[in-house]
């Protein structure tokens, strides 16, 4: 029998053993949701007049943004 190609979500997860498809359903949904969010954010950044650095900053975790802002002003 030919070697089966792994689904994208399973291949990207780093898991090499085939898992139960029902348990992968939520995992695949999260990947698709995150991909949609990143696509929307990049589309908004391309439309806005703000600098690219600000747009890239929006995609970071809020705590990381606050941390970087507090260290820039503290020196």
Is residue 1 situated within a structural domain?
A: no
Residue 12 · residue 31 · CB < 8 Å: yes
Residue 65: the pLDDT is: 60
A 10 A CB-CB count for 60 gives 11
Tally of domains in the chain: 1
pLDDT for the residue 42: 83
Per-residue pLDDT of the chain (75 residues; tens, 9 = 90+): 456 666 676 667 666 565 555 566 677 778 888 889 888 888 877 776 555 555 555 555 556 666 666 665 444
Q: Which domain holds residue 44?
A: 29-75
Q: Is residue 3 part of a domain?
A: no
Stated pTM of the model: 0.34
């Amino acid at each position: 029998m030919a070697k089966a190609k792994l689904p994208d979500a399973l291949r990207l997860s780093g898991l090499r053993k085939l898992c139960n498809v029902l348990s992968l359903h939520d995992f695949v949904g999260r990947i698709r949701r995150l991909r949609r969010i990143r696509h929307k954010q990049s589309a908004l950044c391309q439309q806005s007049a703000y600098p690219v650095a600000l747009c890239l900053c929006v995609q970071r975790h809020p705590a990381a943004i606050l941390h970087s802002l507090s260290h820039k002003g503290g020196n």
